[in-house]
Amino acid sequence: MAVTCPKCQTENAETSLFCSDCGTKLKAAKEFSLFQTETLQTARRELSTGSTFAGRYQIIEELGKGGMGRVYKVFDNKINEKIALKLIKPEIALDRETIERFSNELRLSRRIGHRNVCKMFDIGEAEGARFITMEYVHGEDLKSMIRMSGSLSIGMVLSVGKQVCAGLAEAHSLGVVHRDLKPQNIMIDKGGNAKIMDFGIARSVKEKGITDAGVMIGTPEYMSPEQAEAKEVDQRSDIYSLGVILYEMATSQVPFTGETALSIAMKHKGEIPKNPKQFNPHIPDDLSGVILKCLEKDRLRRYQDASEVRAELEKIEKGIPTTERIVPERKIMTSREITVKFNMKKLIAPALIVAIIGIAALAYWLFVPTKQGPSTIAPKRSIAVLPFVDLSPTKEHDYLCDGIAATLIDALSRVKELRIPGRTSSFSFKGKVLGIGEIGQKLNVETVLDGSVQVSGDRLRVTASLTNVDDGYLLWSDNYDQKIDDIFAIQDDIAQKIMTVLKIKLLGEKEKPTQLVKHYTENREVYNLYLKGRYLWNKRNKDDLIKSIEYFQEAVNIDPSFALGYSGMGMAYVALGASELGPPKEAFPKGKEAAVKALEVDPNLDEAHVVLGAVLNWYERDFPGADREFKKAIDLNPGNGNAHHWYAWLLMNSGRNEEAIKAMLLARDLDPLAPRINADVGWIIYYARDYPRAVEELKKSIEMFPEHAGNYFRIARVYLQMAKYKDAIESIIRFAEQPNFTPTLAYAYAISGKKEKAQEILGDILKNLEHQYFSLVQIAEVYVALGDKKQAFFWLDKTLSESESTISMLKILPELDPLRSEPRFTELLKKAGLEK
C-alpha cells in the first residue's frame, strides 16, 4: 500500500524509506502500526478561526500542515501585526531533546536580519501546546512554481538566484549554515521577492553540540557530497545546494535522482552532473558554468562565498536583453509577512498566478520611474536612539536627556555597520505614547534604545535598554548610579555595550579598543552649557538660535579648546543666514569664524566641516571648496544626515541635478521623519524642473507633517510654475502671517494677472523692509512677474550688495527664467561669481 508523506502529503511506494518529493523519512504502514506509542495516539490540537490562543494570537485561518504541525495566520495583539504561528505536534513537543535543539537553532537563526531571509521570532508554550512564531509572507514556494511552469525564464532564474545568494551571504557572515536549502524552502511573494525559510535546522559553524555528530541532515536531491557522507559542513554546502536549485530552475529537473536516498547520495558523491544546456539549450554558457562550478564535488573548487555567485549572476544578467530581466518589487519597510506552503488544491489558477507575478515584475522594471534613484539599502544593523525621559524631581534636566541621546546618535552614526536615524526623526517621538514596534516600523529599524535620567544633587542615575522591534524582546538593559561628573564614562559604556549586543566587529584583531564617544571637554559646566545651546538650536526659530549662541559662547569662554562649542555656534549662525532669519552679511562670516576655530582644535570634527561647506556654498559661492568640505564631513561621518542634506543643495547650485536628488534622498533615509528634509526632497526636484514629481513628493510630506509650513510654501511655488494659481494661493494664505510667505503671495497674484493686489502687498513689504528682513531675491521675482525688468535687476543688484544666500541659486530659480536671455543677467551671474 502507498505511504503518505507526513510533511508534503505525497503518495510513496510501500517500500520507500524517504519521500520521493521532499526527502522526509517515511515509515511503512506495517512498521508504523507495530511501533505506535501512546503519544502518537494523542489527538493533535487544532485552533479554530476567530479564537485567541495564548491570550495574544487571534487565529485568522489555517494555512497548511506539515511534518512538524499545523501553520496558522494569526494577528498578534501585542505588536499589532499579522504573523505565522506553527503549532508543533504533541509527539514532537513532548520530546525534550528535540525542543531544546529547536530552541538552540532558533536562537542562531534569529541572528539573521535580511529581506531575503524569513524571520523566525520565538518558540513558546501555552495552553498545553508548544508553538513557533515567525514572519508571514503571502506567496508561493519555488518548487510549486517550477512544477507549474517547468523551467523558468532566464531572467527569473537570475533574479531569484541573486536574492537567494544575498540571503545566504548574510547568514554565512553570521556563521549560520542552512543545511537543507531546496526550492520548497524558498518563497516568492507577489512582488517577485525571494525569501529563504526554515533555518530551523541550521547550525552555527562556530558552535558544536546542537545536532548529533554523524547524522545526515538534508533532502537527498539537494544535499552536498559532504552531507551525503555525514561530514562536517560549512557555507560551501549551501552553495552546492544552490547549484542544484539553479539547475532545477533552468531545466525543471534536478541533476540526480534515484530510488532511494542512499542511491541519490552516492550520485552526489561520485557522479558528474550533465551540462544543464543538454536539457535547455537557451541557457547562456556563463550560467551553465556558474551552475556546474557550484556543483563541484571538491568544495575547494566551488565558489567559496555566496556573494561570489551573486556577482557572477549579476554579470550574466547584464548580458541578457533588458526585457528579460526581472526586477522584484521592494518594500520600504521590512515586512513581517511569512512564508508558508499553499495546498495546491486550493489554488484556482496557479499557472496564471505565476504569469501575473512575472508580468508584474517586468512591468515594474519597465514603467516605474528611476530618475529619483534607488533608496539607499539599510546596513546590516539599525538602531534608533530615542530621547531619554527626565525623571528628576524638578524636571529641569530635559536638555541633559536630549544631550545624552544626541551624543549616542552622533557616536553610533560613525559606525559604518550601523544605520542610525537622525536626531530629528528619533526625537519626533518625544512625549508621545507609542509602542516600540510602531516606532521601529516608522523608522525602519531593528532595535530601539531608550532610557531615563534622574538627577539628585551631584548624583546621576541613568537607565538604558535596547529592545528588539520585531518581538519586543529586551536585548540589553543596565542602570548607572554615579556622580554626575561621570556622564562621559556612562555614555561611552552604553555605546560600547550596544556594539557588543549587536555583535558588530569594529576593530581588527590587532587593534586596541577605542572610545566611541569622544570627550571634547572634561568640564561638566562646559558640557552642560553646550547641551543647553544644542537643545535651543534644535528649535530652529530666531530667538532660540540667538540664545543658543550665547550658551555656546559661554562654554568656549570657560574652555577655549572646546571644539563642539565653536561648531555649535557656527551651526547656529549658518541657520540664521541660510533661513534668512537674520542679515547674511553678519551671520555667515561669524559662522565661518567659529568653524575655523573648531577645526583648529579638532581637524576631524565633521560638524565643523559641514558649517564651513555651508558658508562656502551659500555665502562665498566657492562651489569647489564647498564640495571639498562636505565630502570631508561625509567621509568622517557617513551617517551625518545634515551633511548630506546641505551637500544636496551645493550639488543643485552646481547644476548636478541627479546627484543632488540622490543626496537629498539619502539625507531622508538617514533622517526619515525630519520635516525639513522631507519637504526639501520635493523642493530640490522642483529646481530640477520636474514639477509633477515635485508635487507628488510634497503631498507625501504634507500628509506626514500637515503643520510644517515649509511644505505649503514649497508646493505653492510648484503650483505657480504649473499655472495652478488657485491651488497656489490657497496654500500660501494658510500660512500668510509668516514673513517669507508674503513675497510669494505677491508673486502669485502678479503672475496670475491680479497685479493690483500684487502691487498692494509689494508696497507693504517695501515699507516694512527697514524693520523686517525679507528676501530681496523674492522681491525681484515679484517685479519679474509684474513685467518690470528694470526694477527686477535693481533688486537683484541690491541682493549682491547684501550677500543674500539665495544668490547661489540664481542659475536655477525658475522664477527668473524670463530674465535669462537678457545680457544684464549674464553680467549679474559674472558679478556673483557664478559664471566666468
CATH of the domain at 466: 3.40.50.10070
pLDDT at 518 over 80: no
In a domain, 421, yes or no: yes
Residues 6+ apart with CB under 8 A from 302: 236, 239, 240, 243, 293, 294, 295, 296
Residues 6+ apart with CB under 8 A from 743: 762, 765, 774, 775, 778, 779, 781, 782
Amino acid sitting at position 31: E
Does 571 have pLDDT greater than 80? Answer: yes
What mean pLDDT do residues 711-736 have? Answer: 87
Q: What is the structure's pLDDT at 531?
A: 77
Give yes or no for residue 492 having a pLDDT over 70.
Answer: no
Q: Is 373 left (phi over 0), alpha (psi -120 to 50) or beta?
A: left
Please report which confidence band the pLDDT of residue 578 belongs to, taking 50, 70 and 90 as the band edges.
confident
The band of 599, judged by pLDDT with boundaries at 50, 70 and 90, is very high
Q: How far apart are CA 47 and CA 71, in angstroms?
A: 10
Query: Of 495, 519, 543, which marks where a domain is finished?
Result: 519
Query: Reading across the β-sheet that carries 57-65, which strands appear in turn?
Result: 52-53, 57-65, 69-76, 81-88, 129-134, 120-126
Mean pLDDT of 442-456: 81
| Tens-digit pLDDT profile for residues 329-386 | 654 333 333 333 333 333 333 333 333 333 333 233 233 333 333 333 333 578 888 8
DSSP letter at 18 equals: B
CATH number of 293's domain? 1.10.510.10
Report phi then psi at 3, rounded to 5: -115, 125
Q: Is the dihedral angle over the CA atoms 75, 81, 84, 87 positive or is it negative? A: negative
Q: Which of 485, 519, 553 is the last residue of a domain?
A: 519
pLDDT of the residue at 31: 35
Q: Label residue 100 exposed, middle or buried (CB < 10 Å: 0-12, 13-18, 19+).
A: exposed
Of residues 66 and 372, which shows the higher confidence score? Answer: 66
In this structure, are 331 and 386 located in the same domain? no
Residue 257 lies inside a defined structural domain of this protein: yes
Pairing of strands 81-88, 381-385: unpaired
Residue 722 is assigned to a structural domain of this protein: no
Say if 673 falls within a structural domain: no
Asked whether the predicted pLDDT for residue 487 surpasses 50, the reply is yes
Distance CA 709, CA 696 (A): 17
Q: Please say whether the beta carbons of 46 and 70 come within 8 A.
A: yes
**32-44 pLDDT per residue, tens:** 332 233 333 333 4
pLDDT of residue 29: 37
Is residue 781 situated within a structural domain? yes
Split at pLDDT 50, 70, 90, the class of 496 is low
478 and 406 together in one domain: yes
pLDDT of residue 352: 35
Cβ count near 638 (within 10 Å): 18
Question: Angle 709-721/691-704 helices, nearest 10 degrees?
Answer: 160
Q: Is residue 680 part of a domain?
A: no
Helix (H, G, I), strand (E, B) or coil at 132: strand
Dihedral Cα 313, 318, 319, 325, nearest 10 deg: 90
pLDDT band at 207 (very low <50, low <70, confident <90, very high): very low
Measured CA to CA, the distance from residue 162 to residue 166 in angstroms comes to 6
Considering the domain architecture, whether residues 208 and 312 belong to the same structural domain is answered as yes
Of the residues 493, 519, 545, the one at which a domain ends? 519
**Band of pLDDT at residue 507, cut at 50, 70 and 90:** very low
Does the pLDDT at position 16 exceed 80? no
**289 and 149 within one domain:** yes
Contact predicate 691/723, CB 8 Å: no
Asked if pLDDT for residue 28 goes beyond 60, the answer is no
188 or 242, higher pLDDT: 242
Q: Indicate if 207 and 312 belong to the same structural domain.
A: yes
Residue 526 located in a structural domain: no
The per-residue pLDDT for 23 is 52
pLDDT for 429 equals 77
Judge whether residue 203 has pLDDT over 60. Answer: no
Using DSSP bridges, classify how beta strands 418-419 and 381-385 pair: parallel, antiparallel or unpaired. Answer: parallel
pLDDT tens digit sequence for 757-814: 999 989 988 988 877 778 889 999 999 999 999 999 999 998 888 777 888 889 999 9
- 67-76, 466-475, 720-729: segment of lowest average pLDDT: 466-475
pLDDT at residue number 370: 35
Indicate the SS3 state at residue 354: helix
In sequence order, the 6+-apart residues with CB closer than 8 A to the CB of 327 are 159, 192, 361, 362, 364, 365
Mean pLDDT of 191-218: 56
User: Within 13 Å and on the Cβ side, how many CA atoms surround 174?
Assistant: 24
**β-pair type (186-189, 194-196):** antiparallel
Q: Do 422 and 324 share a structural domain?
A: no
Q: What is the chain's length?
A: 836
**Where does 199-284 show beta strands of DSSP type E?**
203-204
Based on the fold, state whether residues 290 and 417 are members of the same structural domain: no
> Is the four-CA dihedral 539, 540, 545, 551 of positive or negative sign?
positive
Instruction: Tell me, yes or no, whether 324 and 394 share the same domain.
Output: no
pLDDT for the residue 406: 77
Backbone angles phi, psi at 192, to 5 degrees: 85, 10
Is the model's pLDDT at 286 over the cut of 90?
A: yes
304 with 435, same domain: the answer is no
- 489 falls in which pLDDT band (50, 70, 90)? low
* SS3 (DSSP) at 314: helix
Q: In a 10 Å sphere around its CB, with 0-12 CB exposed, 13-18 middle and 19+ buried, how is residue 318 labelled?
A: exposed
Q: Could you read off the pLDDT of 214-231 as tens digits, one per residue?
A: 444 567 899 899 988 878
Judged by average pLDDT, the poorest of 127-136, 271-280, 329-338, 463-472 is 329-338
Give residue 224's domain range.
140-186+198-335
**Predicted pLDDT at 318:** 87
- 553-557 contacts: CB < 8 A, separation 24 or more? 554/529, 555/526, 555/527, 555/529, 555/530, 556/597
**Measured between alpha carbons, how far is 260 from 16 in angstroms, rounded to an integer?**
7
Confidence class for position 105, pLDDT limits 50, 70, 90: low
Does 310 share its domain with 175? yes
Most confident of 158-162, 375-379, 482-486, 732-736: 158-162
Select from 137, 105, 138, 139 the least CA-distant residue to 122: 105
* 50-54, 350-354, 490-494: range with lowest mean pLDDT: 350-354
> What per-residue confidence (pLDDT) applies to 504?
47
CB-side exposure of 745: number of CA atoms within 13 Å?
21
612 found inside a domain: no
Residue 488: the pLDDT is 63
Q: pLDDT averaged over the chain?
A: 78
Of the ranges 62-66, 429-433, 612-616, 644-648, which one carries the lowest mean pLDDT score?
Answer: 429-433
Percent over 70 (pLDDT), the chain: 76
- Give me the amino acid identity at 68: M
Hey, what's the cell of 328? 522584484
Please determine, for residue 707, whether its predicted confidence score (pLDDT) is greater than 60.
yes
Domain total of the chain: 4
Query: What pLDDT score was predicted for residue 613?
Result: 92
Per DSSP, the three-state class of 437 is helix
Using the predicted structure, report yes or no on whether residue 421 has a pLDDT greater than 90: no
